[in-house]
Chain A
Amino acid sequence: MLNFDWLSGISQETAKMVFFSLYIFIGLLVLIIPNEYIFQGVAKEERFWYKNLKLWALTVLGILATIYF
């Protein structure tokens, strides 16, 4: 039970899909965050697209998914 034996029947490929699902879930969470919150602390006239942290986070998640060998 504590050793997770009950999950030993799941193949490595299926397990990999679990990890991909996690990345997609986090990506969706990031997507629904309002821009107002993302740009907190940045003056309105300085809110350029490259300062959008959603874009940063989704790029990082995309690279991570690509790595997941």
Chain B
Amino acid sequence: MLTGIDYFVVISYILGMLLLGLYFKKFVNSSEDYFLGGKSLPFWAIGMSIVVSDIGALDFVGVSGQAYRYGVSVGNFDWVGSVPAMILAAFIFIPYFWRGGMYTIPEYLGRRYNRSVRTIASVTWILFFALDLGVLFWASAVLLNVLMGWPIWISILSTAGVVGLYTYFGGITAVIMTDVVQMIIMFTGGFALVFLSLDAVGGWDNMVEKISTMGPEYRNHFDIIQPADTTSPFPWTGILFGLTFVMANAYMIGNQSIVQRCLTAKNEWHAKASMIFGSALKMFIPILVLFPGLMALVVHPGLEDGDQALPLMIKSILPPGLVGLMFAAFFAGLMSSVDSLLNSTATLFTKDIYEPFFKKNASDKHYLKVGQITTLVLLIIGVITSPISSDFPGIYVAIQTFMSYFQGPLFAILLLGIFWKGSTQWGGLLALVIGIGFAIFLNVSKDSFFTIEDPFLYISWWSFILSFIVNILISLMTERHTDLALQGLVFNAKIFTKNEKI
């Protein structure tokens, strides 16, 4: 399906990424350079990196497929499910982490609660990222194979080679600066598809009219707020309680790969601005990935599998050259996801596991080398384990779903840890463990409790509520930390008036 000009576009893109990423090798002289970019990066680069690392090649196809089936309500995840949380994170949480000179979220949890909470949170993230890497490689490569006929192992090895080289040598600076280019490629390819598709369906009003007359199952297709009793996975109650109040906040203040980017900012203003700029860019994502799915309903009605919507639109709408650009956009999605996983996992392992448990007080160069070796080892594990995931269909969704069960309890202990001095180490530890256990129980017995298709939004809400209550009850019965021990770790209104060094 690819023509000569398409191959030229894709190969130019891959080589360009490699050269750009390796350019940043000269800026890495210490572990702070490697993990936090020497705290020297501007808001616009960090904001673009946050957005692009949050959307992979699989999301392009998956979200379009969901839009084909459920309509615009899928956009809630990037609109109300991101923007308010990013604004709150920018003004309240990020300045705390930035002033505290932290490298990881579990590091904050360790200072606020105890080492067990830090280790549980860190190991959970490391396992999630490591498992995700192999599955992401394989699923994305299969997708590129189906879309473009690109051989699976060429996709995996070229991505691993390019991303591995620039992440190993350039650290997070290379990750963020290549993400900037990847976002531009992704937006250019995505918008080209949207505009040409819109022309093909005869404009927006014509599309709405055609879809609305397709039958009763499409009457809510253009309602962003779905009824509470809908059978789709996106009732407004789930969107408000599960997504907006819990998962969005847990993701924006508890996800290492998001927060670590903000910690690379050159000063506190840039750290806050990066989140707000990122939230502005986030609002464009549904236009790129959701609208083609809606337009496919007009161009290719009656598809059995909604995930075929985007590939069919690319094949039927885009001319040669732009197909290559769209393919490069898919590659950009894969690369930005892989480099995030590699760098975040290397940081978590080095700072939360290796340094406290294996070798304290080593030289800075030693930790830099550990971070680089961890990156390399992870990459090799990801490539070797990627074909195994083909034996477990649905494993990508299963891993993402399991991670969503960790979000509610994590957000509960982060929220109480920051806003309540009385939250104790036992309160935090038991809230985390019991909350995750409760989420797993609800998932196993979901048919008894829920009527919607996939109740992950409800599960995250109720596991958050239980963790919140457990944390308070246990904390009231156990010994509190001293005020001195909590200095700089618990919210203080002084943060708004003084540049308090934590």
Residues of A whose CB lies within 8 Å of any CB of B are: 2-5, 7-8, 10, 12, 15-16, 18-19, 22-23, 26, 30, 33-34, 36-42, 51, 53, 56-57, 59-61, 63-64, 67-69
What residues on A are CB-neighbors of B451 within 8 Å? 3
Residue-wise interface mask of B (196-233) relative to A, using a CB-CB cutoff of 8 A (1 in contact, 0 not): 00000000000000000000000000111111110000
Interface: B273 (CB within 8 A): yes
10 tightest Cβ-Cβ pairs between the two chains A and B:
A41-B267, A69-B224, A41-B269, A4-B237, A41-B268, A15-B236, A8-B228, A8-B229, A37-B496, A40-B268
- A4 with B244: CB separation less than 8 A: no
- B462 with A2: CB separation less than 8 A: yes
What residues on A are CB-neighbors of B276 within 8 Å? 53, 56-57, 60
A-B contacts, 12 listed (Cβ < 8 Å) = A2-B458, A8-B228, A12-B236, A19-B225, A40-B95, A56-B280, A60-B279, A64-B79, A67-B79, A68-B79, A68-B224, A69-B75
- A3 with B450: CB separation less than 8 A: yes
- A3 with B452: CB separation less than 8 A: yes
- B79 with A3: CB separation less than 8 A: no
Interface: B146 (CB within 8 A): no
Instruction: Tell me the bound Cα distance from A34 to B280 in angstroms.
Output: 22
Interface: B112 (CB within 8 A): no
Interface: B327 (CB within 8 A): no
Interface: B277 (CB within 8 A): yes
- A60 with B223: CB separation less than 8 A: no
Contacts A42-B267, A64-B80, A69-B223 known; 16 new A-B pairs at CB < 8 A: A3-B455, A4-B238, A8-B229, A10-B228, A15-B228, A19-B80, A37-B496, A37-B497, A41-B268, A56-B280, A57-B87, A57-B90, A60-B83, A61-B83, A67-B224, A69-B75
- A56 with B283: CB separation less than 8 A: no
Interface: B402 (CB within 8 A): no
- A53 with B226: CB separation less than 8 A: no
Instruction: Tell me the bound Cα distance from A3 to B459 in angstroms.
Output: 10
Nearest A residue (CB) for B499: A40
* B contact residues, range: 35 or more
Q: Indicate which residue in B241, B442, B458, B496 contacts A33 across the interface (CB closer than 8 Å).
A: B496
- A3 with B449: CB separation less than 8 A: yes
Chain A: minimal CB distance from B440 (Å):
15
Among B88, B283, B455, B496, max chain A CB count under 10 A is at B496
Interface: B387 (CB within 8 A): no
Chain B: minimal CB distance from A13 (Å):
8
Q: Indicate which residue in B229, B269, B277, B496 contacts A42 across the interface (CB closer than 8 Å).
A: B269
Instruction: Tell me the bound Cα distance from A39 to B271 in angstroms.
Output: 11
- B87 with A26: CB separation less than 8 A: yes
If A12-B225, A36-B497 touch, whether A41 touches B270 (CB-CB below 8 Å) is yes
Residue-wise interface mask of B (400-424) relative to A, using a CB-CB cutoff of 8 A (1 in contact, 0 not): 0000000000000000000000000
- A23 with B84: CB separation less than 8 A: yes
What residues on A are CB-neighbors of B433 within 8 Å? none
Interface: B495 (CB within 8 A): yes
What residues on A are CB-neighbors of B497 within 8 Å? 34, 36-37
If A8-B227, A56-B277 touch, whether A64 touches B283 (CB-CB below 8 Å) is yes
Interface: B240 (CB within 8 A): yes
- A51 with B87: CB separation less than 8 A: no
Instruction: Tell me the bound Cα distance from A62 to B268 in angstroms.
Output: 24
Interface: B118 (CB within 8 A): no
Instruction: Tell me the bound Cα distance from A41 to B450 in angstroms.
Output: 48
Interface: B261 (CB within 8 A): no
- A56 with B273: CB separation less than 8 A: yes
Among A10, A22, A34, A37, max chain B CB count under 10 A is at A37
Instruction: Tell me the bound Cα distance from A24 to B177 in angstroms.
Output: 35
What residues on A are CB-neighbors of B190 within 8 Å? none
- A69 with B222: CB separation less than 8 A: yes
